Copies of this chain bind each other. A is one copy, B any other.
Amino acid sequence: MNRIEVTEKIIAAKVSSGISWAEVARKVGLSKEWTTAACLGQMTLNGEQAKVIGAIFGLTEEEQKWLKVVPYKGSLPTPVPTDPLIYRWYEIVSVYGTTIKELIHEEFGDGIMSAIDFSMDITREPDPKGDRVNVVLSGKFLPYKTY
């Protein structure tokens, strides 16, 4: 058994039961973004969270243990994603990458926006011309250390 098998079992159980990620998150008591990432094998759960997830998706004790192991991260099968929805995000990084770099450096100096001390919030923004996906990313700025 490994984490990938547990992730696949979770996904299959979710399709079978029809539960939404939002409901799962509510039961875990955390954001839907973090909870989904954890269920998809990208985050590490503590004992209590693993128990809740285990109950929702019918995982064995052994499978729950795997949820508490730090996974090898990276959720995509290819360096350039083929799925159109995910590709659009890759395209944003490709087209706006140097722009993002310039503007963060202009405001903060040399350093990065953390992808670890980081949160994401995805919501629907109603719009008469067609609803929009609104995403808020928040990452701590980490300045390069001089030594």
Q: Is the CB of B110 within 8 A of A70?
A: yes
Q: Is the CB of B70 within 8 A of A74?
A: no
Q: Is the CB of B73 within 8 A of A100?
A: no
Residues of B within 8 A of A108 (CB): 124, 131, 133
Taking each of A94, A100, A110, which has the highest tally of chain B beta carbons within 10 Å of its own beta carbon? A94
Q: Does A88 contact B (CB under 8 A)?
A: yes
One of B2, B34, B80 near A147 (C-beta < 8 A): B34
* CA–CA, A23 and B111, complex, Å: 22
Q: Is the CB of B124 within 8 A of A107?
A: yes
Interface size on A, residues (CB 8 A): 99
Q: Is the CB of A140 within 8 A of B132?
A: yes
Residues of B within 8 A of A110 (CB): 43-44, 70
One of B32, B138, B144 near A116 (C-beta < 8 A): B144
Q: Is the CB of B86 within 8 A of A97?
A: yes
* CA–CA, A106 and B62, complex, Å: 19
What 1/0 flags go to A28-46 for Cβ under 8 Å of B? 0011111011001011100
* CA–CA, A118 and B130, complex, Å: 12
> A-side interface residues toward B, CB under 8 Å?
1-2, 8, 11-12, 15-16, 18, 20-22, 30-34, 36-37, 40, 42-44, 62, 65-66, 69-70, 72-120, 122, 124-125, 127, 129-147
